[in-house]
Homo-oligomer: A and B are copies of this chain.
Amino acid sequence: MSRTTSHHPIPSAEVLYRRLLDHVRGWLAQAPQPVHLVGIASGGVWLAQRLQADLGLPGAAGVVSSVMHRDDFAQRGLANSAHTQLAFDVNGAHVLLLDDVLYTGRTIRAVLNELFDHGRPASVALMVLVDRAGRELPVQAEWAAERLSLPADQSLELACDDAGQLSFAVHRLASTQ
């Protein structure tokens, strides 16, 4: 794909969230119970917390951070990191992981290792707002609200305003990896 300055359509995060809510509601109805919602910091946490409220689930959604297991930890360090918060026993648990964008799969590998540091889950499923082409590891989401392809020099990130409204921001990276 050529790296032009053409604009790619940015999906509406609110529209995708409503699709996610509908899908998770149906999926939970036939999943082994209980399922624990866990959001990947930071975009996935907003999704998990909002789903937890909109679905009327008890307690707080979990938070999982990839930062301690990322393969580029040496470059990124601990700046701006959220801390993992799991108020349930991960051993034997059914976990629904939520994230805003699935891209290379490296975050998911890191997050699985973070989860497994806390125990051996019975199952971990992943759902995302956007499945962005460009996978570098054999990782896949169970479901994505939208699939799209973006140039490698663009990053796609979920933002959340003070009123809790979700939107996607596209940033141009200074250099591609």
Contacts and interface: CB of A to CB of B under 8 A. Distances in A.
Interface of A: 71-72, 97, 108-109, 112-113, 116, 120-126, 136-142
B136 A139 contact: no
Contacts of A71: 116, 120
A105 to B, nearest CB: 9
Given A71-B120, A121-B136, A138-B142, 19 more contacts: A71-B116, A72-B120, A97-B138, A108-B138, A109-B109, A109-B112, A113-B113, A122-B136, A123-B136, A123-B137, A124-B137, A124-B138, A125-B138, A126-B138, A138-B139, A138-B141, A139-B139, A139-B140, A140-B140
Contacts of A122: 136
The 9 closest A-B CB pairs, nearest first, are: A140-B140, A126-B138, A123-B136, A71-B120, A124-B137, A138-B139, A138-B140, A109-B112, A108-B138
Nearest to A112: B109
Contacts of A136: 121-124
A136 B125 CA distance: 7
A140 B137 CA distance: 9
A173 B137 CA distance: 31
Contacts of A123: 136-137
Given A71-B120, A120-B71, A112 B126 contact: no
B120 A137 contact: no
A120 B109 CA distance: 12
Nearest to A111: B138
